[in-house]
Structure 1
Amino acid sequence: MPHVNGKSFLLQMKSCCCASQKLIREKEKALLASQTHFTEDEVEAFFELFRKLSSCLVDDGVISKEEFQLGLFGNSRKQTLLANRLFQLFDSKRDGAIDFEEFVRALSVFHPKAAQTEKAAFSFQLYDIWETGFIQRKEVKELFLALLDESDLLLTDETVEAIVDKTFNEADSKGDGKIDEEEWRHFTAQYPSLLQSVTLPHLLDVGTVYPSFTTV
């Protein structure tokens, strides 16, 4: 499972250019807190971080793909499969931008308190690059290569093929040449370390790492 540096992501959001101070509506804050793993204070803290990131390039109240990439990598022009897939999953409304509700709901999956089934479902969608409802071997390989591209790890073609083959063969328990969501859920339950990168421990520290963004 690709690794996202949660601390770096949050620090990048904090360091973006300043945006106008604007309080989230109490009703929306309460609703998001009730439907995610965040408290109302944490939702409000995220709103300030969201405003900073969404105004880094254009102050339009939503996060564009370039602003999202800036938050992830510190580079708004870096086009990668991993960045594109994460953006697509955050952009659940598929309108080409991430609004605040989408931002909080997607980050909630990465919360340490989120259930493993939530994390497994998210990682399944990440690997299902072609959005067919199944993961195919080529998709596993493409995302694995994208992960290697983001790291300093160098592997031979033979090693890559061996890892992909082992992963796919073990996950494809039905032996039909594709991995469905049930198979993926069982596979990640057997190897929970695969979901470690869908957990950002720093999300527990939103209220302490960024005290100036929380309500009193």
Structure 2
Amino acid sequence: MGQSSNKLNKKDIEALAGETKLDGEKVQEMYKDFLKQCPNGKITKKQFIGMYQQRFPGGNGTDVAERLFRGFDKNNDGIIDFREFIITEYVKSQGSPEKKLELAFGLYDIDENGYISLTEMMEIFKAIHNTLPEEQRKGGMADVRNRTKQKFEKLDDNGDGQISKAEFVEGAKDDPELLEILRK
């Protein structure tokens, strides 16, 4: 992709517009903004974590940022290029609720086996809890463990000890608290 110039070529713009349902002008505008933040057209994991951590003064967003990075870095090459960035951002901001939940499922499925275990869900809930400043952390880790277990049991429709993507998407659509956690 034409990542080294200030403009994308027509083919790249058309491809990204088709994948995101954005018009070509908006794609070009987003690319220029991306280059302002990342002049070489790429975001490393370290840069991403640094940018994300700024959103949580007084908290620790590193664990969440690492998982989010994995969600953006679709080809697992250790960098986020503009294509990966715009497609993931589009899903996060304008995708259907189902697409957003499918994206979130990938963040929870740490070992990428197609299921979320209680341990994986616990890791995510703890990481989200740790993004809060100390004075806003209510109930401590015991509360996080209890709430995680309750959410897990609610989402594990068939009681097999793991949550499939279908169970996650269907269950989370009807859970206001979980939807709020996913927005953060």
Interval containing the TM-score (normalised by the shorter chain): 0.7 to 0.9
Q: Is 1:130 paired with 2:111?
A: yes
Decide whether aligned partners of structure 1 residues 199 and 107 sit closer, same or farther in structure 2, where only a CA change above 3 A counts: farther
Matches within 5 A, 1:91-106: 91-106=73-88
Matches within 5 A, 1:84-163: 84-112=66-94, 114-152=95-133, 153-154=136-137, 155-163=139-147
- How far did 1:194 drift? 3.0
Q: 1:68-106: per-residue Cα shift (whole Å, max 9, x none)?
A: 22332249xx87221111111111011111111111111
Matches within 5 A, 1:59-98: 60-74=40-54, 80-98=62-80
Partner of residue 184, structure 1: 168
Q: Which amino acid aligns with 2:126?
A: L
What is the number of residues matched between the two proteins? 174
Measure the CA separation in 1 of the matches of 2:10 and 2:131: 39
Please report the TM-score for the alignment, with normalisation by the length of structure 2.
0.84
Contact 2:53 2:61 survives alignment (8 Å): no
Contact 1:65 1:97 survives alignment (8 Å): yes
Q: Which amino acid aligns with 2:153?
A: N
Partner of residue 16, structure 1: none
Tell me, which stretches of 5 or more residues in structure 1 are unaligned?
1-19, 201-216
Partner of residue 16, structure 2: 32
Partner of residue 156, structure 2: 172
How large is the Cα RMSD of the aligned pairs?
A: 2.3
Tell me, which stretches of 5 or more residues in structure 2 are unaligned?
none
Q: Is 1:45 paired with 2:29?
A: yes
Partner of residue 38, structure 2: 54
SS of residue matched to 2:42: coil
Q: 1:150-193: per-residue Cα shift (whole Å, max 9, x none)?
A: 11232233312220111000000110111011110110122255
Contact 1:109 1:198 survives alignment (8 Å): no
Question: Which of the pair is proportionally richer in strand?
Answer: 2
- Which range is displaced more, 188-197 or 22-31? 188-197
Measure the CA separation in 1 of the matches of 2:37 and 2:98: 29
Answer 1 or 2: higher relative contact order, Cα 8 Å, separation at least 6.
Answer: 1
Q: Which amino acid aligns with 2:28?
A: E
Q: 1:55-74: per-residue Cα shift (whole Å, max 9, x none)?
A: 3xxxx331111222233224
